[in-house]
Each structure stands twice: as C-alpha cells, then as structure tokens.
Structure 1
C-alpha cells in the first residue's frame, strides 16, 4: 500500500499527516502506521501521525492523533496548528475552521501563510503539595485541557534553562507514572525569566521522552502560572527547545499561536509496514 503523506512541524514538534477520508484506515491500522513510520532512521521519523477524517459532529473535519508508540491521544496543540494548515492547503476547510478531537471541538484560524492560532480545550487545575516518590518535587499543578482532558503536570524548576535534559529524566518519569494520575501525565518543567517569559521543557507520554515542544503543555503551563499569579488575562511567551510559542490567556480561554511548517510531501512505501 502506498499512502500519500505530508511531513509538518510546529516548533520542531514533527508529524506525519495523512488524509484518511478515502484510505479509511482503522484505529488498529493507524496505530500500527504510527509505530512503524515514526521510527527515526528506520522510517520517516516523527513524534506522531495525524489523520484527517470525516467529523461525527458539525466540525469541518476530525483530527485523529497517534503517538509514536501507537497510543491515541486526546489532542495536540502543535499538531492542531499543523493539521489546520494542512486542511486549509488541501481545501478541506477555510481560514477559520473547527477541528473535532477526542477532547472536544477546537476552533482554529489562519493568521498568515505559516502562522496559525488554535483555541485549546478549557482547562481545570488542581494543586498537589506533597512529596512525590523518586523525586525532590514537593509541589506541582495538575492541569487537564478538555473533557476527557489532556493530562499535564506543571512543575517549577529554578534554573531550568541551564539544566541538561538527562538530569530531569528520572524525575519526569516518576511524575509521568504517578499513581494518582490515572491516565499518566505529560510533565512540563518551567522557570520564569527576568522579562516574564517562561522556559519550558516537556516530557511527553506516548513519546516517553522530552520533545522540542508541546502545545497543550505550553498552554497548561501558561494557565497554571497565570492562575497562581492571580491573572485572568495574560499574553505569555514560552521558550521551548524548538523555538517560541505564544499563549494568550483570557479567563478560561487559552489560544496557542505559532508557525505550522510544511516540510515535505511524498508516499509512504515502507516495506516493513504491514496494515
């Protein structure tokens, strides 16, 4: 089987995007596709596979998101920006659109050729103040975006910009698998710069490693920090490994703004892929 695909990235969070409306690949097949094609060096390589499908409701299209380990995720902020551009370029949707996701409908807008904005799913935040086994962390915020929510742990880590990722890995894994998080959690470490920007490093479930960026993680972090600072509105610039993202906080509304880059187009002809 030859499958047309587009490789895209948002803040170096990279994706293989396909139009599944005609392919009609099943959940199991999409999972297998992600496991094989996301492997760097062995295949195309990416953080995840995204598939455009027909919506079940009134949205313009449905976004299906599969992590590199084959698990299906509720939503992805950087992925939503990229799939919004894909939908616009493929004439699936206009400059303003609604994306159906497992976590709920996500409005998206084309701001210019490369820049897109998505409205993230509504957040809820819970603070945990206690010891966390296997870590020195004593306080974190648990933020869910949407219902069912995308789970994020937000952890303040002073001096983060100068900390090697390998020094954070054990702590990230312990929190990611903490028993109180029934779905596990993405783990976002952050620190604030003198100018008020946030430095963020995210360990993503499904990838099971640090990624260059996480859109929903950036939104969760911006919301948690603004919430504890008593701010109901804020425009937050986040410095991630893959560049910069902007999150606009307006009470319970979180808008994620950043580039959606088209990298390449082609056919998946992987001889080791069996669907």
Structure 2
C-alpha cells in the first residue's frame, strides 16, 4: 500500500549536533498519509535522533518539522493523541499483566476495554492477556510495546527498530502486525538496520549515514538504479572454469568448494547457454538487493 493522501510528515533541513558530532546534518524528507516509510542506516547514522526530532521528543538545532500540519516542538497537547510512539527500549509497570499494561496506557486517552481487547487480538497477545509482562518473551514484549503505541488509535505510528534482537520467527510474526497496522490506513515511520525487512515492508526508504540522507526512493527503484550484475551459482564442478568464462554474457567467474559463481548483466543469454549444455543442476540466481545498495552507499566496514 502506498500513501494516497497529503503529506503527514514534512521534515526540512533538520540539524542536531552534540559538540563536534553532527548527529543530524541537513535531513529533509516527507511521508504521505498511509505510507510505510523506513529510515535505514548503520549504527550511529543518526536514525534515532532524526526520529526523536520528528516525534517532538528532541528539539532540533535547525530546520523545521510539520507533523499533521503542526510543529511537534514544543509539545502540543492536541497533537499527542494523534501520534503513537514505540521506542527502542520500552519500560513497563512491574507486576501488571499484559491486559493491565495496555489498560493503563489506554486510560491516559480515555480508551475503553473493547479497544484494549482489539489491540491484544491485533498483536497476537489475546492468549497472554493474564500473563505478567516479565514472563513474556522478547517478541511478545515488542508486540505489547507496539500495542501500547496503537491503543489510542493514532494517525501516525513511530517505530524505532521494533524487530531488533528478535529471533527470525518473532521478526516474521511482527511483520504481519506491521502490515496489519498499515492496512488500517496508518502512516508508519520506522527505523531499522534489517535490509531484507525494509525491502519487504516499506513503500519508500531513506538511507542515512553520518547524519545525512544518501538516497531515498522505493526499494525496487533504488535496486534498479544500482546496475549491479546478476550472479548465477552452480554446484562445484558443474563445468570447468574456462568453459564458464567462455559462456555468452559471462563477465567474471569465481570458484570455491561451495559453488561456481558467474556474474552477468545478460542473465537470459547466460541461462540459455547453460540450458543447452545441460548444466542447470543446483542452479541458483542471485539478483541485487537493497543490501547491495546500502553497502555501496555506506561502505562495508563494521561499526559497533
């Protein structure tokens, strides 16, 4: 689903520095109503600081934010019910059950019991309604955190790395929750460093590093603009390396104990030639992904 209304969020030339560190350095973007927009970047890129400025949790040094037509800083009481915020680290009340946690958050907005039960169903925690928060798994805690951000039915939902530290199954379950949120017409702005997740969920993404946006568009558009070769992988020994080099469309060939890899920008010609030779056993085709775009823009060095 893509946004089909006006801009729900407009950020213009946002800046935030801590001493000599420019955490956010001239960031501008807009998010349409109903759009799922992701901010991607390595650790320390400025994602969370940008999100906190847009939410109105942090005052920018420069620039301007319009959130549903209003500036979120200083905090405006009439704007707060229209936004929902899930932070990287969520704190809950000790000894309260899942339902009681949600009821407590909902009471701040006059939310009734029916809405609480609806949220428990949405995030898949109805069967854990009577369980204390401390007995929930990491994935269940994340879903409860999102339910707390949604319980008052906000127009915009901010999610800061909602799937961080979750196992693959919990991440996939949470993807279903996020899709269900967007299907309800909500605008979602979220940060993540999981590129596969962003490629699947987001209508558009902004890739950040060192406080700046390096690229912004639909994931598929960014991938197409990379002009990266397709990699065709064969079983080791499927054909000699010199024969692989001679195939039409082959640009480079590498071989190890795991696979024979042929890169090409003409995959149809290459695959046709392999089919004629009967060399399709165990064949895999790997096209470029958002991760390739990300690595080209931000580099491959590890950053803690």
TM-score with structure 1 setting the length: 0.29
Give the strand-richer structure, 1 or 2. 1
Give the helix-richer structure, 1 or 2. 2
TM-score with structure 2 setting the length: 0.27
